[in-house]
Amino acid sequence: MKELKISWNTTYKAIKKVSEDIKNNCISYDSMLVLNRGSMVFGGILGYKLGIRRIEYMDIDVIYTKNYTEIVKKIINSPLERGTLTGKVLFVTDIVHSGNTIMEGVKQLKKEYPNNLFDFATLFYIPNNNIKPKYYYKLMKKKKWIVFPWDEVGYVPMSNHI
């Protein structure tokens, strides 16, 4: 899989575009839910730009078979207490590949928050059959391994993966 390294300048431009799209849509979100780790950078800056002060997180690990055709295990860790998310919620992740990770989060959220409205925002979106985010910076026609600036710490190029 080819790699695409994203600079801090591109990242900021992407977050700015997503925040402007949300503002132009005239929807005000009561809270934000971010997927743990890289999405926390995106979510923090986006929350600041949109004036969203209630930001929660969810940690989801979806483990696949070697050829990525089947989910072997799902681990969802979330410190969310029932009632933490209120009203309209913006669910944020830095990239949507297959959509499986977000869908696992959605299943959990629909059980715990059946009356909430959830919209999705991402920086990079690779079309899939599971989910289409309402807001995104760039649609990726080909699958690429996106390397964000925050991934640089401890980064191992895809060519070094087994």
43/99 Cα distance (integer angstroms):
18
pLDDT digits over 52-105, tens only? 998 888 887 767 676 666 666 666 777 666 667 878 999 999 988 777 778 888
Predicted pLDDT at 108: 81
Classify residue 96: in a domain, yes or no.
yes
Question: What is the number of structural domains in the chain?
Answer: 1
Does 162 have pLDDT greater than 50? no
Q: What is the mean pLDDT of the chain?
A: 83
Q: Provide the token pair at 100.
A: 């499986």
Handedness of CA 8, 12, 132, 53 (dihedral sign): positive
Length of the chain: 162
Classify residue 33: in a domain, yes or no.
yes
Domain ranges, residue 44: 3-141
Name 61's bridge partners.
75
Domain with 86 in it: what CATH number?
3.40.50.2020
